[in-house]
A and B are shown apart, each in its own frame.
Chain A
Amino acid sequence: MTAEVRTSEPVLSVRDLAVDLMVDGRWTAIVKDVSFDLFPNETLGLVGESGSGKTVTSMAIMGLLGRSSVRTRGQVRLEQTDLLSMSERELTAVRGRDIAMVFQDSTRSLNPAFTVGDQVAEVVRRHMSLHRSEAWERAIELLELVGIPQARRRAKDYPHQFSGGMCQRVMLASAMACEPKVLIADEPTTALDVTVQAQVLDLMRELQERVGIAILLITHDLAVVAEMCQRVAVMYAGELVEQAAAEPLFVRPRHPYTAGLLASIPSPTAEAAAFGFIPGVVPRPGQEVRGCLFHDRCADFVAGRCDEVHPALEPPEGDHRARCLRSDELDLRGIDAPRVA
């Protein structure tokens, strides 16, 4: 999958984002130093497992974390405006119009007490000055766009009358209502059956082609990343540990955690029935770790270096960056390497 031709200006630019949450009376760093750019008509995959901070990152970008017990630092620029410096009132004008988000469990993200049509139309009414009936018409158009059959009739139905895949389509309809520049999709297909997942991913690609939106796709599923993303950023324990275009990341990873994740995928050409795992557990938020946050689980750990120095993302500018002191020395296995039990 070749990278699409991209304009040089990112539509979303995150710099040095850090988020602290108040946990048990203490400020705890959940996201530390995340930076990335998102370009129009492109999908960036944000990959991580539990404890990686990927969801908090996306919520921080949208400003959905609330104001109490949250401290956010850094810059989140949507074209020219810094979202982090905006007031809640200003943000409500931007959300849903310039930047939209869909969540993991779509059946729970729709209000059970209102019709599906109403929930799509309200976005339209909020951001464009349309009458009720015009907004309703637009809502039906949007539902048709995302492939809901008999949209006019179904718009009057309630969420509990839709399946998981259909609910996710409805969410995409309300997200796309104002043709935003950025779509954040937090695990959009994790709760769906694999055949439904395939259709929803196809739909997202179609919508991207039509409107040219940039998509930040948050997931733990590397296969979905391979299918959808031109570029990938991997998070671990609140930090970005690797960032690259999709192919180099999968074939020649430069961080041991990425290599470990790739080795955890059951091989599609399995003769060997083995696949790997990463021993140990992610550091808890607030846990003090000396040196690299991954060192206690790393197969390529070197005492005296990895547990002393906290690595920065190297090279500072570049297409393929990794937060590892040894990334230049190591020859890490990607998906082409033969599997060993």
Chain B
Amino acid sequence: MDRAVPSPEPVLVGRDLHKSYVRRRNILGSVVERTHALRGVSLDVRRGETHGIVGESGSGKSTLARLLLRLESPDEGTVHSEGQDLAQLDRRHLRRWRRRAQMVFQDPFASLDPMMVIGDSVGEAITVHERVDREERDRRVLDLLERVGMRSHHMHRFPAEFSGGQLQRVAIARALATDPDVIVCDEPVAALDVSIRAQVLNLLRELQDERGIAIVFITHDLSLVRVVADRISVMYSGRVVETGRPAEIFGSARHPYTRTLLSAIPVPDPRVRKDRLPAAAGAAGATEASRGCSFAPRCPHVMEVCREEVPPLVGSDVRSVACHLEGETPVEQPARPPTPGAA
């Protein structure tokens, strides 16, 4: 379903982002092993659009979120916000920029300070960034809480008194407090009961329609991202392997990893017997800067070139794939039997 066409101007652009973390040092303190969380990721988010980022553990999606919000700096690559390179901003301007980009985390019980009443949690950003008196702040907090479906008397209660779904809505209110242009949501409904997820997601959709906020929606749940996103980027082992609109990803996935992922999703229909694509499952995290495509060890269609060169991401910013198979006729059967699983 097409919603209102989002403005083509990107609110946030990440280009060729690299980020690694130290895993081990030797006796002298020099680095012996690194974990490469991101190995050249580019991404953009447009006003009024929801960009879904899908990946399993080790894909680098949470690292990407932190880099986009400048909670950490990339080793290489840039993040631009409306033309402005965030690395060029001094401390004061960076702080001011933070109002424009906010985050909603997975577990609202962990992301909201249990010692602060929710009114204070929601209003903290207002107090920090703007000079408003107490009354004005409270008025705005009340507005925000009501917008997310909470009541005024909730303002003075502690997080422990609420359910997960209610708290996540409070977390959204907190993210809205500074009137941001982009909200990054990292698994916003994974910790919530299934029967209330739609409530939180509908809220995000409404806010987006009302205010034109761009949303980066990070999740491992493909079924969810399909109904939530306008564009999807599939990540594997620190790189983007495929992008496209939901219908394209789900209807005609081109990358072998995407297809593996899709075939692994259980179907909520007991009459359907799923045939799964075989693929040696393994942890996706990369420790060495391995040569070639990171999916090569697990790919049923692997070729020589796959182990030598990293396939470039080819296509437009709405539809692209990073796979050496591109240009060849897609093969439906696995090219060779999979090696035993190492999940």
Do chains A and B make direct contact within the complex (CB under 8 angstroms)?
A: yes
The 8 Å CB contact of A224, one of B198, B266, B283, is B266
| B261 CB contacts on chain A under 8 angstroms | 194-195
The 8 Å CB contact of A281, one of B56, B163, B266, B269, is B163
The yes or no answer to A286 lying at the interface (CB within 8 A) is no
Residues of B within 8 A of A (CB): 1, 3, 56-57, 163-166, 193-199, 202, 220-224, 226-228, 260-261, 263-274, 276, 279, 281, 283, 340-343
The 8 Å CB contact of A220, one of B1, B56, B193, B227, is B193
What is the bound-complex CA distance between A194 and B222, given in angstroms?
A: 9
Residues of A within 8 A of B (CB): 1, 49-50, 147, 149, 163-166, 169, 193-202, 220-227, 229, 246-247, 250, 260-262, 264-268, 270-279, 281-282, 335
| A165 CB contacts on chain B under 8 angstroms | 281, 343
| A262 CB contacts on chain B under 8 angstroms | 268
User: Is A195 a contact of B268 with CB atoms below 8 Å?
Assistant: no
| B341 CB contacts on chain A under 8 angstroms | 147, 199
- Given the interface pairs A194-B220, A194-B261, A223-B268, the reply to whether A261 lies near B194 with Cβ below 8 Å is yes
- Given the interface pairs A147-B341, A193-B220, A273-B1, the reply to whether A223 lies near B194 with Cβ below 8 Å is no
| B268 CB contacts on chain A under 8 angstroms | 222-223, 225-226, 250, 262, 265, 268, 335
Q: Separation in Å of the B161 CB from the closest CB of chain A?
A: 11
What is the bound-complex CA distance between A92 and B131, given in angstroms?
A: 64
The 8 Å CB contact of A163, one of B263, B273, B343, is B343
User: Is A265 a contact of B194 with CB atoms below 8 Å?
Assistant: yes
The 8 Å CB contact of A195, one of B165, B194, B199, B264, is B264
| B194 CB contacts on chain A under 8 angstroms | 49, 220-222, 261, 264-265
User: Is B198 a contact of A198 with CB atoms below 8 Å?
Assistant: no
Interface SS of B by simple majority: loop
Using CB atoms, name the residue of chain A closest to B279: A195
Q: Separation in Å of the A47 CB from the closest CB of chain B?
A: 10
| A229 CB contacts on chain B under 8 angstroms | 270
Q: Separation in Å of the B235 CB from the closest CB of chain A?
A: 12
User: Is A267 a contact of B227 with CB atoms below 8 Å?
Assistant: yes
What is the bound-complex CA distance between A260 and B342, given in angstroms?
A: 37
User: Is B56 a contact of A268 with CB atoms below 8 Å?
Assistant: no
Using CB atoms, name the residue of chain A closest to B56: A193
| A194 CB contacts on chain B under 8 angstroms | 56, 220-222, 261, 264-265
| B197 CB contacts on chain A under 8 angstroms | 264, 277
The 8 Å CB contact of A226, one of B199, B263, B269, B283, is B269
Using CB atoms, name the residue of chain B closest to A167: B343
User: Is A50 a contact of B271 with CB atoms below 8 Å?
Assistant: no
7 sampled A-B residue pairs with Cβ under 8 A:
A166-B343, A194-B220, A194-B264, A195-B56, A225-B268, A226-B266, A267-B227
| B283 CB contacts on chain A under 8 angstroms | 163
Q: Separation in Å of the B224 CB from the closest CB of chain A?
A: 6
Using CB atoms, name the residue of chain B closest to A1: B270
User: Is B164 a contact of A50 with CB atoms below 8 Å?
Assistant: yes
| B267 CB contacts on chain A under 8 angstroms | 223, 226-227, 268
- Given the interface pairs A226-B270, A227-B274, A250-B270, the reply to whether A277 lies near B198 with Cβ below 8 Å is yes
User: Is B57 a contact of A193 with CB atoms below 8 Å?
Assistant: yes
What is the bound-complex CA distance between A37 and B254, given in angstroms?
A: 45
Using CB atoms, name the residue of chain A closest to B343: A165
User: Is B227 a contact of A274 with CB atoms below 8 Å?
Assistant: yes
User: Is A201 a contact of B196 with CB atoms below 8 Å?
Assistant: no
| B271 CB contacts on chain A under 8 angstroms | 1, 247
User: Is B199 a contact of A149 with CB atoms below 8 Å?
Assistant: no
What is the bound-complex CA distance between A273 and B229, given in angstroms?
A: 10
Q: Separation in Å of the B106 CB from the closest CB of chain A?
A: 13
Q: Separation in Å of the A289 CB from the closest CB of chain B?
A: 16
Using CB atoms, name the residue of chain B closest to A50: B193
Using CB atoms, name the residue of chain B closest to A220: B194
What is the bound-complex CA distance between A279 and B196, given in angstroms?
A: 7
